[in-house]
């Protein structure tokens, strides 16, 4: 295919007429598709049906140490749940606290706690004139929303195929005491599906922060969320917890994970892992905050998965359902846009998203056009702090919630919008 | 029985020798009892076994409006759970948000939110020089612990048989803009089992706070926790939500409740009820804080209880188990201490505690002696802010976790310690 930029204005205008005709035909059909939702499909949730009955009698309600999970207590969670989550994160059970169902809530809580009570003895952030966070972009909108909500100044750090631009991270972290944190999705990142390279992880572990209360918010949301069973097709992430220890920076990282996309998105369990010093500080706070999280649900997960191997087996079932969806979208992108040089996309080996990078200035237009034709996409700009994508080029595609048939049609609408918006841009530049 | 104070010094000394002999005999037996834990007994938890299997297949996982409770969404909770909790609290479902398993966590969260984000637009409390809370005493230690943790200055307000001293409450609330809240357990209060009178509730509803962001923290923890099925033996509490509306103060109260002592203490559901303005403000915060609480557990509760009547029936079963425990302790107190005028206690008609008021200066000594003889009581002073009981006279007795046989023996130890400590005090005064 000849790249659009190399085609004549007449050719582009004719093509535009043709594509717009098709677009209007589709629009008239009143279709309804959604590629905005990064959530598991009903079929994926069905995989965990056994979880519902994993604790179904009084006899089932006791932890290995005899703890009655129906009653109060154990604010850090039952040991076997801490071990299950710890094994998944590569962190000893003693360094893990299991919460309720949402890791986002633990992260929010961590920021809130730092604002009111500081970090392991530091000045509470609410008493500081300025708190800054580094935000690798594109990234996860809900991370950025949390820090925005607390009035944190967010600084964009560009993502590279190896992870965040570490030259920039090192400079900002070491020079500015107001930089207190960085949001990371280190494996199959949201939205690009990038896994941080070993060198990136080591450079993170060896940061020399100006602020003693600087922390890496390591949201390992997709820690076992491979799309392919073959290990050679799975990304490997270095263990930040161990690397930080080796580097003499054991306290610098909080790792978060949950079973939201392993068991039930709305009724899983979530955990934080960190150094003893951090865990002790969190425990103190927890002692005031709650009498304990839902231990029955922790026990359900332990009984259902048995151990980390059980989780890995479960993930193969998810992969079998997700793979065709990803491939459908990727094939459509290649078929309709390959060689046109009006956008690029990645082929992630895990996670929940495909990231599409349009020509600069086109993302909003594409998402708007898609919506008018019945296809809901994640709002353009959502992957940037303050919803401001400086290039207006980042579009997040979430293929999990639809069937391949739906995705086939939805992708057709999407690529049509990309082509029209791109031609409009090229024509405008030539005018 | 002749009151101790009217007995001769010789008589008291002889009695002391006799009681101490008995105390030492008991101590030598190496017994182990616990009357410190305000939690349901295993037998009480067994009542809810059906809850475990109330949602056990994929088909069970859907809310009435079709919401898939396994997936993300509905941060305010599913409608039927909001209605169930609302019916129990006497608040419309629309004004209720259902959270996870612990109402303490909602209260903590409410304080934390006020510190970082203010109250419906007010200055965040962390930006104020001083924040004060009124604390009816004796009261619930975990309430006081939360405000202490946030550096709030706590002011004791004495409890009366009608509730907190409202003259004092009205004066402090209307005169001091730094007073931002008051902790209340309005029904079967912890630890005294007092239910606020209608006049007290109306005076609360008609408060004229100096601070626009003053809120009543109405922890209706024992809203349906009667000890007697006969309605004439049940305390009735006026509906603060309605009274505040009538008084033109709809935004002044947050009401909290949970099923912790209805279903499972560690795996129930908890809720907050408030005016539309408050709920809208909380919703905004929630939108950043979480993707939603555990809706499957909400649905489990709805399916298990069906409706508010189901909760009431459940509470009769709890009462049948708790009543003998309360009566055992009360009978022992009357038998061993009646007429001696060395302490007073209440006969609550609900809740989880019996409150014992010793002679001034004796509570610590009694709890210490009991511990040495193998009976663990709640730490003396725990019912006061900063753990400082100015009279050293308040002792909380928690009879739920033991059998009547255990309580019989435990009460014997307790009353023995009360008698010895009281004689010691009387003798010291005469010396």
d(CA B135, CA B146): 12
Distance from CA of A100 to the nearest CA of B (A): 8
Percent of chain A whose predicted confidence (pLDDT) is above 70: 100
Q: How far, in Å, are A101, A246, A349, B84 from residue B79 at the CA level?
A: 19, 50, 38, 9
What residues of A are in contact with residue B281 (Cβ under 8 Å)?
none
Q: What average pLDDT does the structure give for chain B? A: 97
| Nearest-by-CA chain B residue for A268 | B294
CA-angle at A292, arms to B112 and B381, nearest 5° = 75
Question: What digits encode the pLDDT tens for the residues A36-86?
Answer: 999 999 999 999 999 999 999 999 999 999 999 999 999 999 999 999 999
Convert chain A into a string of H (helix), E (strand) and C (coil).
Answer: CCCHHHCCHHHHHHHHHHHHHHHHHHHHCCCCEECCCCCCCHHHHHCCHHHHCCCCCHHHHECCCCCECCCCCCCCCCHHHHHHHHHHHCCCHHHEEECCCCHHHHHHHHHHHHHHHCCCCCCCHHHCCCCEEEEEECCCHHHHHHHHHCCCEEEEEEEECCEECHHHHHHHHHHCCCEEEEEECCCCCCCCCCCCCHHHHHHHHCCCCCCCCCEEEEECCCCCCECCCCHHHCCCCCCHHHHHHHCCCHHHEEEEEECCCCCCCCCCCEEEECCHHHHHHHHHHHHHHCCCCCHHHHHHHHHHHCCHHHHHHHHHHHHHHHHHHHHHHHHHHHHHHCCCCCEEECCCCECCCEEEEECCCCHHHHHHHHHHCCEECCCCCCCCHHHCCCCCCEEEECCCCCCHHHHHHHHHHHHHHHHHHHHHHHHHHHC
Residue A431 has pLDDT above 90, yes or no: no
CA dihedral A404, A405, A409, A414 (to 10 degrees): -10
What are the CA-CA distances from residue A366 to residues A5, A43, A422, A430 (Å)?
18, 30, 9, 20
Q: Is the per-residue pLDDT at A1 higher than 90?
A: no
Give the nearest chain A residue to B52 (CA atoms): A56
Whether residues A267 and B116 touch (CB distance < 8 A) is answered with no
Q: Distance (Å) from the C-alpha of residue A341 to the closest C-alpha of chain B?
A: 37
Q: Are A100 and A284 in contact (CB under 8 A)?
A: no
CA–CA–CA angle A22, A27, A30 (5° rounding): 140
> What whole-number distance in Å separates Cα of residue A311 and Cα of residue B7?
73
CB atoms B293 and A45 under 8 Å = no
Contacts of B57 in chain A (CB under 8 A): 49, 52-53
- Tell me if A384 sits within 8 A of A156, measured CB to CB: yes
ipTM value = 0.96
Say yes or no for a CB contact (<8 Å) between B73 and A266. Answer: yes
Residues in chain B with CB shorter than 8 Å from the CB of A266 are: 68-74, 291-292, 294-296
**pLDDT tens profile A187-204:** 999 999 999 999 999 999
Q: How far apart are CA B301 and CA B54, in angstroms?
A: 8
Q: Is-contact A169 A192, C-beta < 8 A?
A: no
For chain A, give the mean pLDDT.
97
Chain B residue numbers with beta carbons less than 8 Å from the beta carbon of A56 are 52-53, 56
B290 vs A73, A105, A267: nearest CB: A105
- Using 50, 70 and 90 to split pLDDT, how confident is the model at A403? very high
Q: How does residue B1 score in pLDDT terms, banded at 50, 70 and 90? A: confident
Closest partner residue to B296 (CB to CB) among A46, A127, A264 is A264
Question: Which residues does chain A have within 8 Å of residue B295's beta carbon, measured at their own beta carbons?
Answer: 266-267
Mean pLDDT of A320-336: 98
3-state helix, strand, coil in chain B (%, to 5): 45, 15, 40
How would residue B372 be classed by pLDDT, with cut points 50, 70 and 90? very high
Six token digits for residue B400: 């739920």
Question: What per-residue confidence (pLDDT) applies to B431?
Answer: 86
Predicted pLDDT of residue B172: 98
CB contact at 8 A, A123 and A171: no
CA A22 to chain centroid, in Å, comes to 35
- List chain B residues with CB under 8 Å of A69: 266-267
| Tens of pLDDT, residues A112-130 | 999 999 999 999 999 999 9
Distance from CA of A300 to the nearest CA of B (A): 10
The distance of B428 to chain A (nearest Cα, Å) reads 39
Instruction: State the average pLDDT over residues A135-162.
Output: 98
Compute and round to an integer the Cα radius of gyration of chain B.
23
The reply to whether residue A291 touches residue B266, judged by beta carbons under 8 angstroms, is yes
Stretch B328-353: mean pLDDT: 97
Q: What is the pLDDT of residues B255-302, one digit of tens each?
A: 999 999 999 999 999 999 999 999 999 999 999 999 899 999 999 999
- Residues of chain B in contact with residue A102, where contact means CB-CB under 8 angstroms, are 290-293
Name the minimum distance, in Å, from the CA of B104 to any CA of chain A.
6
**Residue of A49, A116, A267 lying closest to B126 (CB–CB):** A116
Q: Do A296 and B267 touch (CB under 8 A)?
A: yes
- Contact call for B45 and A57, based on CB within 8 A: no
């Amino acid at each position: 295919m000849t790249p659009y930029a190399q085609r004549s204005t007449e050719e582009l205008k004719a093509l535009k007429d043709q594509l717009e005709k098709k677009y209007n035909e589709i629009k008239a059909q009143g279709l309804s598709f959604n590629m905005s939702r990064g959530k598991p499909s009903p079929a994926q949730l069905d995989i965990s049906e056994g979880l519902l009955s994993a604790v179904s009698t009084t006899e089932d309600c006791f932890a290995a140490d005899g703890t009655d999970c129906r009653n109060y207590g154990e604010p850090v969670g039952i040991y076997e749940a801490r071990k299950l989550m710890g094994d998944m994160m590569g962190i000893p059970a003693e360094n893990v606290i299991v919460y309720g169902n949402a890791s986002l809530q633990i992260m929010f809580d961590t920021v809130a706690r730092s604002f009111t009570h500081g970090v392991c003895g530091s000045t509470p952030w609410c008493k500081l004139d300025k708190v800054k966070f580094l935000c690798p972009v594109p990234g996860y909108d809900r991370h950025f929303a949390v820090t925005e909500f607390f009035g944190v100044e967010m600084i964009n750090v560009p993502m590279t195929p190896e992870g965040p631009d570490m030259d920039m991270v090192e400079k900002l972290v070491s020079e500015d005491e107001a930089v207190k944190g960085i949001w990371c999705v280190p494996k199959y990142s949201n939205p690009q599906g990038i896994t941080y390279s070993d060198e990136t992880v080591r450079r993170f572990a060896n940061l020399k922060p100006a602020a003693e209360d600087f922390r890496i918010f390591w949201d390992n949301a997709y820690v076992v969320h491979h799309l392919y069973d073959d290990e050679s097709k799975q990304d490997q992430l270095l263990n930040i917890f161990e690397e930080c220890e080796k580097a003499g920076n054991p306290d610098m990282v909080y790792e978060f994970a949950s079973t939201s996309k392993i068991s039930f998105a709305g009724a899983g369990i979530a955990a934080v892992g960190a150094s003893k010093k951090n865990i002790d500080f969190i425990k103190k706070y927890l002692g005031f905050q709650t009498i304990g999280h839902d231990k029955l649900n922790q026990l359900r997960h332990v009984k259902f998965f048995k151990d980390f191997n059980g989780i890995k087996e479960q993930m193969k079932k998810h992969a079998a359902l997700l793979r065709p969806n990803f491939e459908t979208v990727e094939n459509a992108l290649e078929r309709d846009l390959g060689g046109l040089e009006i956008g690029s996309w990645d082929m992630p080996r895990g996670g929940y998203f495909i990231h599409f990078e349009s020509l600069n200035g086109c993302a909003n237009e594409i998402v708007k056009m898609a919506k008018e034709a019945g296809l809901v996409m994640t709002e353009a700009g959502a992957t940037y702090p303050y919803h401001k994508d400086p290039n207006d080029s980042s579009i997040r595609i979430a293929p999990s919630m639809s069937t391949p048939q739906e995705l086939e049609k939805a992708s057709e609408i999407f690529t049509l919008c990309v082509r029209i918006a791109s031609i409009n841009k090229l024509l405008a530049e030539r005018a």
